[in-house]
Amino acid sequence: MGLFDQILGAVAGASGQQNNEMGTIMKAVSQLSNSEGIDPSMMNGLLTTVAAQVQKALQNHPNPQQAVADLQGTEYNPATVEVLFGDQQTQVAQTAAQQTGLNVSTIQAMLPTLIPIVLSMLNQGGNTQGQSGQGNPLLNAFLDADRDGDTDISDMLNFAGRFMK
């Protein structure tokens, strides 16, 4: 099953609480985009770039399931950046700046909010029905570096945005 199928299953099978959580995530992305004056399509690109770097960090984390559960959220949290990237924070921002054209300092200032948001999206797959004992199937698919599909975090945002309307 592809990542997009996992996302569809997580969102479509979501309880009312999960729908509220996805709405909160979408609102946080929109507010961050507006407060920084970043076009929504540029924000999707930034989230995709950051998500790719989060993926690498989680693949090297001793317990990625627990890290996602502990660090997810929609609020500013510098600890998430420190836990996942340590002294590589500047490099993360520089890579994102190169790929998006945004200012490095703007991205660095946004990382403590962006990373918990990405983790919150991934955590949406942790509570799907019929998946008990298997961890978070959405996170498992995200961490599988061998998948060759082109679904990324912006696809997830776009789908979730349509679903929430």
Would you list the domain boundaries of the chain? 3-164
Reading the chain (165 residues) residue by residue, the pLDDT tens digits are 433 344 445 555 555 555 677 778 888 888 999 999 999 889 988 988 898 899 889 888 888 888 888 999 989 999 999 999 999 999 999 999 999 999 999 999 999 999 999 898 888 766 544 444 556 766 767 766 555 444 455 555 555 555 444
DSSP letter string over 69-81?
HHH--SS--HHHH
Would you tell me how many other CB atoms lie within 10 Å of the CB of residue 156? 29
Q: Which residue has the tokens 């945004």?
A: 102
Whether the model clears a pTM of 0.85, i.e. scores above it, the answer is no
